[in-house]
Chains A and B, each alone.
Chain A
Amino acid sequence: MNDRSSTSAGWFVDIDPADVEAATEAIREETAEVPRNWPAEAVEAGFADDEADYYAKLRESTVESTREAVREREAADDQQLKHSIRAMDDCNRTANELAERLAEWAGTVDPDAGTGVEYARALARGEADDDIAEPVIGSLAERVADLADEADDLREFVDRQTPAVAPNLSALSDPVLAARLIALAGGLEELAKKPSGTVQVLGAEDALFAHLRGHAPSPKHGIIYTHDAVRGTHPENRGSAARAVAGKLSIAARVDHYSGELKPELEAELAERIETIQARTTDEDAGTDGGAADE
Chain B
Amino acid sequence: MSEQLPEGVKRRAFDGTDRLATRGEPVYGEPTDGAWRAWNPHRSKLGAMLEVGMDTGLEGGETVLYLGAASGTTVSHVADFAGPTYAVEFAARPVRDLLETADSRERLFPLLKDARKPATYAHVVESDVDVIVQDVATRGQARVALENRQFLADDGRLLLAVKARSEDVTREPAAVFEDVREELAAGYEVLEAKRLEEYHTDHLGIVARPR
Tell me which residues from 95 to 124 in chain A have a Cβ below 8 Å from any Cβ of chain B: none
Contact of A35 among B106, B151, B169 (CB under 8 A): B151
Give, as a whole number of angstroms, the nearest-CB distance from B65 to chain A.
9
A212 and B107 contacting across the interface, CB-CB below 8 Å: no
Among listed B16-24, B27-35, B93-101, B185-193, interface-contacting one: B93-101
Chain A residue numbers with a CB within 8 Å of B108 are: 59
Is B202 positioned at the interface, with any CB of A under 8 Å from its CB? no
**What's the interface size class on B, roughly?**
20 to 34
**A189: min CB distance to chain B, Å:** 12
Query: A37–B99 contact, CB under 8 A?
Result: no
Does B125 have its Cβ within 8 Å of any Cβ on chain A? Answer: yes
Within 8 A of A (CB), among B114-162: 118-120, 122-128, 150-151
Interface hub of B92, B99, B108, B127 (most chain A Cβ within 10 A): B92
Q: Contact flags (1/0) for A12-51 with B, using CB distance below 8 Å?
A: 0000000000000011001111111111000000000000
User: Is the Cβ of B84 less than 8 Å from the Cβ of A62?
Assistant: no
Contact A33/B126 with A67-B99, A73-B112, A212-B170 known, Cβ cut-off 8 Å: no
Nearest-neighbour CB distance to chain B for A2, whole angstroms, equals 12
B127 is contacted by which of A31, A35, A213 (Cβ under 8 Å)? A35
Name the B residues within 8 Å of A38 (CB-CB): 123-127
Are the CB atoms of B122 and A35 closer together than 8 Å? Answer: yes
The chain A residue with its CB closest to the CB of B63 is A39
Across the interface, do A36 and B126 meet the contact criterion of CB distance under 8 Å? yes
Give the interface residue-count category, chain A. Answer: 20 to 34
User: By the criterion CB–CB under 8 Å, are B123 and A30 in contact?
Assistant: yes
Q: Which residues of A contact B102 (CB under 8 A)?
A: 59, 63
Residues of B within 8 A of A27 (CB): 111, 123-124
Asked whether A74 lies within 8 Å of B128 as measured between CB atoms, the reply is no
A55/B122 in contact, CB under 8 A: no
A216 on the B face (CB < 8 A): no
Describe B's contact surface by its main secondary structure: mixed
Residue of B whose beta carbon sits closest to that of A72: B92
Q: State A37–B84 Cα separation when bound (angstroms).
A: 13
**Cβ–Cβ < 8 Å partners of B98 in chain A:** 66
A175 sits at the interface (CB 8 A) = no
Question: B169 to A209, Cβ gap below 8 A?
Answer: yes
| Interface flag for B14 (CB, 8 Å) | no
Residues of A within 8 A of B173 (CB): none
Please determine whether B112 and A59 come into contact, CB atoms closer than 8 angstroms: no
Cβ A62 vs Cβ B127 within 8 A: no
Report yes or no: A74 in contact with B93, Cβ–Cβ below 8 A.
yes
The answer to whether A33 touches B119 (Cβ under 8 A) is yes
Q: Are B92 and A62 in contact (CB under 8 A)?
A: no
With A35-B126, A74-B93 as known contacts, state yes or no: A58 contacts B170, CB within 8 Å. no
B interface with A by C-beta (< 8 Å): 84, 92-93, 95-96, 98-99, 102, 106-112, 118-120, 122-128, 150-151, 169-170
Contacts A/B (CB < 8 Å), 29 sampled: A27-B124, A30-B123, A31-B119, A31-B120, A32-B122, A34-B127, A34-B150, A35-B150, A37-B127, A38-B123, A38-B126, A38-B127, A55-B84, A58-B109, A59-B107, A59-B108, A62-B109, A62-B111, A63-B102, A63-B110, A66-B99, A66-B110, A66-B111, A69-B112, A70-B112, A73-B112, A74-B93, A212-B170, A213-B170
Interface residue ranges, A against B (CB under 8 Å): 7, 9-11, 26-27, 30-39, 55-56, 58-59, 62-63, 66-67, 69-70, 73-74, 209, 212-214
